[in-house]
Amino acid sequence: MTITDPSAFGSQPSGEDDPSVRLPLVEGAGENFSSVTDAVASIAELPVERTNRAWIICFAISVSLLGMLGLLILHLITTGVGVWGNNNPAYWGWPIVNFVFWVGIGHAGTLISAILFLTRQNWRTGVNRAAEAMTIFAVVCAGTFPGIHIGRVWVAYWLFPLPNQMAMWPNFRSPLLWDVFAVSTYATVSLLFWYMGMVPDLATFRDRAVNNTRRIAYGIFSLGWTGSSRHWHVYERAYLLLAALATPLVLSVHSVVSFDFAVSQLPGWHTTIFPPYFVAGAIFSGFAMVLTLMIPARQFFGLKHIITMRHIDVMCRILMATGLMVGYAYSIEFFVAWYGGVQYESFAFVNRAFGNYWWAYWIMVSCNVLIPQVFWSKKLRGNLWVVMIVSITTNIGMWFERFVIAVTSLTRDFVPSSWGYFSPTWVDITMFIGSFGLFFTLFLLFLRFLPVVAIAEVKTVLPQAHAHGEDHAESHSAGGSAAAPASRHDA
């Protein structure tokens, strides 16, 4: 059997059930470099007065919530952390829960941009830019909470190893300090990764700019990028290295977050599966948030042919897989709590499921483990309403997971005399809502003014992006050229 044209099995959009055929990543027969550029650039090039009304409404709401968050933070700083519900024995209440929640959401971006890049999951090109932006904004939200949790925010620099008037250094044996390093490294590397990926697209915007303000603004941030192949060569290598660095980083960040809990001796926190379990949970919640954001975005901004149903299908499957991993961790924890024979540990887990906070536990289990199982059905993966609802319940479930971990263990420790019950105050609740204002303000600005889709990367997965075999046989011996498109699609 001989197949003469390797691209034959790459581009024929015949029946999607045929495993020998890879569906095109960008839908629509007539897609080419120009149309992809237009589709993405036109969003940012829309004149201000013609901005989508839905965008304006969302933005207005987000900015008001952001303002509320600012006022609440002011209230917190001028009054003290007593405005929160954190009190003996639950000194870690909503702020830490919100912190872990947001950091977790921030994991999908780097996962999509780095791990899926390394594993050649080329479908990522449609969604990676937005997911990376989401990562950065989520990390900003996450950083806010420990930042204000320290009480005296004006000495927050004590968190870093800077010489200070007390001649003291931070304690590097504390996992909370590891967290400072992990989260700030993660924020930095994500920002570098996001910005570096955006440079060529900003150059595209610069070259399409119709007025000087845009030309100068995009021009400065695109650093004078010309699309030189010699630049691309170094650029691609740097991108690959950043991806290779970000992959262990993404594992390390939520592992370090889990160390905050797991190095302690508190029952329910001190268990060795925490690092991979937290990482799986983070990816789980991150993908849920990507879906929550991308489904409306593709609808409103006409990106349905770039962020296709196939993207959503794949992400649903990842959601289900990571949900199962989280479920695996829940069950192993329960089994070993009994198997280990430590009575405090067994009590902690029985208490989670049937104690004071049983409702939180069962919300967590149903949202994280049970509900995502609907994605076994291909039909339901294709129903955007179902996907939207499941992605939102997943986010709810993952928030409750952190709540269950932080609060049930703290309120039921070794000594019954120190048991308590945690109740959030109005500041706790409104601050959490306000953090969504911060997140969406940033995200909406991104959607409106920056390249939402990695234009250059999407172009590389178009069939036209590849030279044809018969034209340049000499390159084959060197082994350097022209992969069949299909090999670049999925691996």
Partner 1 sequence: MHGPIEIPTTDQVTVTGLSKPALIGLGVGVAGLAATAALGASAGDDMLHFGHSMLVAIVFFLSISLGALFFTLLQHVTSAGWSVVVRRVAEAMTAAFPILGLLVLGVLVVPVLMGKPWIYDWADSAFVGAHELVQHKAGYLNAKFFLVRVIAYFAVWIGVSRFFSSQSLAQDVDQDKARTLKMQGRSGISMIAFGLTLTFAMFDFMMSLNAEWFSTMYGVYMFAGAFWSSLATLALLTMWLEKRGQLKGVVTSEHYHDIGKLMFAFTVFWSYVAFSQFMLYWYADIPEETHWFNYRIWGDWNGFALLLLVGHFAIPLLGLMSRHVKRNRSVLAAWAVYCLVFHFVDLYWNVMPEMVNGVAGGDPATTGPQFDLMDLTAMIGVGGLFAFAILKRIDGKPALAIGYPRLPESMAFQNI
Partner 2 sequence: MSDQKKHDEIHGIVAYFDDVDSVMSAARKVRDAGYKKWDTYTPFPVHGIDEAMGTKPTILPWIVLGMGLTGLTCGLLLQWYTNAYDYVFLISGKPDWSLPANIPVTFEVVILFSAYTAFFAMLGLNKLPHLSNPLHKLPKFSRVTADRFAICVEAKDPNFDAGRVRAILGAETSELEDCPVDTSRAALPLWFHAVMALVTCATFIPLSLAVKGRFATSEKPRYHVWPDMDFQRKRKSQTGWEGFEDGRSMRLPVEGTIPRGELRDDFELYFGVAQGAPVPPHVTFDGGAMGGDNFQWLSSFPTAVVVDDAFLERGRERYGIYCGVCHGAQGNGLGAVALRAAAIDAEQWGWVSPKALQSDSAKAYTNGELFHIASNGISSMKGYGSQITPKDRWAIVAFIRAIQASQALEAAPADLPDGTDFEPVPTIKDVRLSEASVDAPAAGSEPAGEAR
The binder of 271, among partner 1, partner 2, none, by C-beta within 5 to 8 A per type, is partner 1
Q: Is 463 in the site for partner 1 (CB under 8 A)?
A: no
Task: State the burial class of residue 169 (Cβ atoms within 10 Å of its Cβ: 0-12, 13-18, 19+).
Answer: exposed
Residues 6+ apart with CB under 8 A from 250: 107, 110, 111, 114, 115, 186, 279
- CA dihedral 323→102→457→479, nearest 10 degrees, is -60
Contacts with partner 1 in 314-353 (CB under 8 A)?
Answer: 321, 324, 328-329, 332-333, 336, 338-342
CA 259 – CA 326 distance, rounded (Å)? 17
The radius of gyration computed from the CA coordinates of the chain, to the nearest angstrom, equals: 24
Quote the least distance from Cβ 477 to partner 1, whole Å: 8
CA 453 remoteness from chain centre: 15
Per rule CB under 8 A, is residue 22 in the interface with partner 1?
yes
Q: Whose structure tokens read 């709401």? A: 61
- By CB under 8 A, residue 377 contacts partner 1: no
Q: Least distance in Å: CB of 53 to partner 2?
A: 29
- How many residues bind partner 1 (CB under 8 A)? The answer is 58
Q: In the range 279-298, which residues lie near partner 1 by CB under 8 A?
A: none
Single out the residue of 13, 151, 248, 302 in contact with partner 1 (rule: CB under 8 A).
Answer: 248
Cβ at position 418, least distance to partner 2 in Å:
20
DSSP 367: I
Answer left, alpha or beta for residue 483, where phi above 0 means left and psi between -120 and 50 means alpha. Answer: beta
Which of partner 2, partner 1, none sits in contact with 251, Cβ below 5 to 8 A by type? Answer: partner 1
For the bound state, the minimum distance from the C-beta of residue 290 to partner 1, rounded and expressed in Å, comes to 18
Dihedrals phi, psi of 324, to nearest 5 degrees: -65, -35
461 by Cβ neighbours in 10 Å (0-12 / 13-18 / 19+) ranks as buried
Q: Of 63 and 324, which CB lies nearer to partner 1 in the complex structure? A: 324
- Site membership for partner 1, residue 470 (CB under 8 A): yes
**Would you count residue 46 as binding partner 1 (CB under 8 A)?**
no
**Amino acid letter, 301:** F
Residue from 193, 218, 259, 301 touching partner 1 (CB under 8 A): that is 259
Q: How far apart are CA 39 and CA 301, in angstroms?
A: 9
168 binds partner 1 (CB under 8 A): no
Task: Give exposure, 467-488, as e/b (b: 16+ Cβ within 10 Å).
Answer: eebeeeeeeeeeeeeeebbbeb
Stretch that binds partner 1, among 27-35, 195-203, 262-270, 421-429 (CB under 8 A): 262-270
- Distances from the Cα of 184 to the Cα of 136, 142, 177, 274, angstroms: 11, 11, 11, 21
Q: By CB under 8 A, tell whether 1 contacts partner 1.
A: yes
Say which entry of partner 2, partner 1, none residue 230 contacts (CB below 5 to 8 A, set by partner kind). Answer: partner 2
> Whole-number minimum distance, CB 466 to partner 2, in Å?
6
Q: Which residues pair with 87 in a beta bridge?
A: 90
CB of 218 to partner 2, least distance (A): 11
Range 52-91, binding partner 1 (CB under 8 A): none
**Residue number with CB closer to partner 1 (167 or 491):** 491
* By CB under 8 A, residue 17 contacts partner 1: yes
Please choose which of partner 1, partner 2, none residue 332 contacts, taking the beta carbon within 5 to 8 angstroms, the exact cut-off set by kind: partner 1
Cβ contact 101:434 at 8 Å: no
Contacts with partner 1 by CB under 8 A lie at 1-4, 6, 9, 17-20, 22, 118, 120, 175, 248, 251-252, 255, 259, 262-265, 270-276, 321, 324, 328-329, 332-333, 336, 338-342, 376, 469-470, 473, 476, 479, 481-484, 486-491
